[in-house]
Structure 1
Amino acid sequence: MSVRTAVVGLGWAGRELWLPRLRAHADFDVVAAVDTEPAARAAFDAALGVPVHPTAGALTAEDVDLAVVAVPNHLHAEVAGALLGRGVPVFLEKPVCLTAAEADVLEAAERDGGATLLAGSAAPHRGDVAALAGLVPDLGHVRHADLSWIRARGVPRAGGWFTRRDEAGGGVLFDLGWHLFDTLASLLGPVPFTQVVGVTSSDFVNAAAWGAAWRRDRPEAAGAPGDVEDTARGFLVRADGISVSLRAGWASHEALDVTRVQLVGSAGTAELRCTFGFSPNRHPASVLTLTREGTTTAVPVPDEPIGDEYRRQLDGLAAALKEPGSRGRAVGEARTTVRVIEDFYASARSAPARNDVPAGRWTGENP
């Protein structure tokens, strides 16, 4: 039996990522949508042939089995929490929450409503990441991970909510960085971080020439200048002793967008070079290598369509809804991620100032 699904939010993610894949997937039946904008509701009401509501309050556990929430970051905890509290299961893509306090709100809503929160990011569901995971046993004791996702030109929606700290929570660290943290957790397990040093910069965020034109965002009235970071660089240590170098950038002077995941172990080093996401400025192909005792060997990776990881993410979603062990897992993993991001921003704020753009949302308290 298909999962009766509502899509909450018809912006880029809801419109481009989730609606077409949900409608094409045998496990899901899109029965409703939600958007606060009258123009979006009018456009999709006819196109979808299902009710398009102005608020998520119209959704009940009697009418839908799952709500896919694709609203701006600052509304994630509020909208998902309200749905969970009414007994409506929710799928929420990264960032699940913007603070540890919001994680507490989601945990309470999941418990009080008796509904399950499912969450995650698509990157760990890529075929090349799965191939990298298959090499981990060959590496011996993993000592270090080097993670980077650097775009050539890819500041999202310049002047929109993505670049405003009060609505996005932060900049590239919440956007691309969350994917990198989730990928690391999928490869080596979701382990907390005990040491975090990070710096941020914002050289590109307010320059239109560095925007991600390929995103096809809705036109938006010019707003206040962006006040988030477009680049984050850090060095971190996990509770299991594994060190992590991280770099995320919405823009750079590179010609192509390149993602790099390198795992260094006592018995070998594995490295994946590819491009996460949908940018057309891509690394030509995913390249996975294993290096041992001076010899580097290419490892085959599947050739898959761009964005297929989002379809694959849906493949296990219906089954996860029925698993008792799913409840509480997403909040626990999100709390680990948001805490390291909070610590990263706290470290960045303590560094000597190099510009006047603050680094992400910070509550003044470290968990």
Structure 2
Amino acid sequence: MTIRVAVAGLGWAGRELWLPLLGEHDAFEVIAAVDSDTRACEAVRQKIGVRAYPDVDALNPHDVDLAVVAVPNHLHAETAARLLRRGISVFLEKPVCLTLEEAANLAGAERAAGATLLAGSAARHRADVTALRQVVPTLGRIQHAELGWTRSRGIPRPGGWFTELSKAGGGALVDLGWHLFDTLNSLIDPAEIRQVVGVTSDDFVRAGGWNAAWRLDDTPTGGGGDVEDTARGFLVRHDGVSVSLRTSWASHDERDVSMLRIEGSEGVACLRCTFGFSPNRLPASELAVSRVGVTTLLPVLAEPVGTEYRTQLDSLATSLADPGNRGAAIADARLTVGLIDRFYQSAHPVAG
């Protein structure tokens, strides 16, 4: 059965990512689009011929099976909750929510009408991450994970909502860190965090001129912002596993590099690649495993940029049909948003 989809939010992600991907996929039919910008709605209506509305309340639950929500961060939870309470299931771009209060509201909305909330974070669906996942069970008892995503130049739309704390909820930690935490939880069993130490900096946001080269359609509306462009931290889980983290929207590095390094009692596996859509990429993903002083490079399937989003859609229909997934996205989001909040508290302690 074809899943009838409405896309809510016609910014870069909704317009350039989700509308084309859903339109190409046999399991989905895009029947509507939603955005408060009437020009964006009209452009979509003319381009792909679907109905367009200024508000999600205009969607009919009898006509829509799923809403893909790609609105700005501060509207994620509120928009998703409104849809869920009307019985429309939701596929929500990360971050699922910005506070624990929003997570509680989403949980109530999901229960209210029996709809399902599914969360979007595509990195775990990459072929190279899948190859790393297959290696992890051979590493013995996991002791440490190192997570990194560092861009050379990649501040999204400086002066737009991404760099405004009240709308984004944070900077590089929320934007890139959510992907890293989600990917780690797909590699090793999630666990609560016992200790968090974090620091942030905003040198590149304040300087201006470090915007993302692949978002040329989003003209900067001004410089600066009140979020971090870099976050570094060290975490200790209740099971004793330590985690080091770095996320950077901009840096003095030559390339945009993502790195996942998992250390175990029987070996170490390290994946170096480039997440996302940046054209300033590593030429290929590299997965190395070291044991007793010997390092081996493992083969990794090469795939076109953005394939992980198509792969994510392949499993979405099955996930939507499984009632066992109800509540799972919110439970994961509670852990992640609670962790991010503790990270910011450590980085910006309140004076006594």
TM-score range with shorter-chain normalisation?
Answer: over 0.9
Q: Which moves more between the two structures, 233-242 or 142-151? A: 233-242
Cα distance between partner residues in 1 of 2:110 and 2:221: 36
SS of 2:206's equivalent in the other structure is coil
SS of 1:320's equivalent in the other structure is helix
**Is this contact kept in 2: 1:272–1:289, CA < 8 A?**
yes
**Is this contact kept in 2: 1:60–1:87, CA < 8 A?**
no
SS of 2:296's equivalent in the other structure is strand
Question: Where in structure 2 are the equivalents of 1:112-131 lying within 5 Å?
Answer: 112-131=112-131
Cα distance between partner residues in 2 of 1:225 and 1:298: 42
The equivalent of 1:247 in structure 2 is 246
Cα distance between partner residues in 2 of 1:122 and 1:157: 21
The equivalent of 1:320 in structure 2 is 319
The equivalent of 1:152 in structure 2 is 152
Cα distance between partner residues in 2 of 1:138 and 1:237: 22
Cα distance between partner residues in 2 of 1:46 and 1:66: 22
The equivalent of 1:363 in structure 2 is none
SS of 1:118's equivalent in the other structure is strand
The equivalent of 2:195 in structure 1 is 195
The equivalent of 2:226 in structure 1 is 227
Cα distance between partner residues in 2 of 1:351 and 1:234: 18
Matched residue count: 351
Cα distance between partner residues in 1 of 2:216 and 2:325: 34
The equivalent of 2:32 in structure 1 is 32
Cα distance between partner residues in 2 of 1:180 and 1:9: 24
Paired residue type of 2:237: R
Q: Residue 190 of structure 1: CA displacement?
A: 2.3
Question: Where in structure 2 are the equivalents of 1:206-225 lying within 5 Å?
Answer: 206-219=206-219, 221-222=221-222, 225=224
Q: Which moves more between the two structures, 58-67 or 213-222? A: 213-222
How large is the RMSD of aligned CA atoms in angstroms? 1.2
The equivalent of 1:279 in structure 2 is 278
The equivalent of 2:72 in structure 1 is 72
Paired residue type of 1:280: P
TM-score when normalising by structure 2: 0.98
Deviations 1:229-261 (A, max 9, x none): 000000001122110000000000001000110
Deviations 1:131-178 (A, max 9, x none): 000001110001000000000000000000000000000000110000
Cα distance between partner residues in 2 of 1:225 and 1:271: 35
Question: Where in structure 2 are the equivalents of 1:166-185 lying within 5 Å?
Answer: 166-185=166-185
SS of 1:98's equivalent in the other structure is coil
Deviations 1:173-210 (A, max 9, x none): 11000000001000002222111100000000133321
Say whether residues 1:346 and 2:345 are aligned partners: yes
Which runs of no fewer than 5 residues in structure 2 stay unpaired? none
Q: Residue 271 of structure 1: CA displacement?
A: 0.2
**Is this contact kept in 2: 1:12–1:216, CA < 8 A?**
no
Cα distance between partner residues in 2 of 1:309 and 1:35: 26
Paired residue type of 2:293: G
Q: Residue 217 of structure 1: CA displacement?
A: 4.0
Question: Where in structure 2 are the equivalents of 1:14-25 lying within 5 Å?
Answer: 14-25=14-25
Cα distance between partner residues in 1 of 2:187 and 2:237: 14
Cα distance between partner residues in 2 of 1:201 and 1:149: 15
The equivalent of 2:267 in structure 1 is 268
The equivalent of 2:100 in structure 1 is 100
Q: Residue 351 of structure 1: CA displacement?
A: 9.1
Paired residue type of 2:268: T
Q: Residue 219 of structure 1: CA displacement?
A: 3.2
SS of 2:277's equivalent in the other structure is coil
Cα distance between partner residues in 2 of 1:164 and 1:314: 30
Which runs of no fewer than 5 residues in structure 1 stay unpaired? 353-367
Q: Which moves more between the two structures, 113-122 or 125-134? A: 113-122
Paired residue type of 2:336: T
Paired residue type of 1:27: A
SS of 1:215's equivalent in the other structure is coil
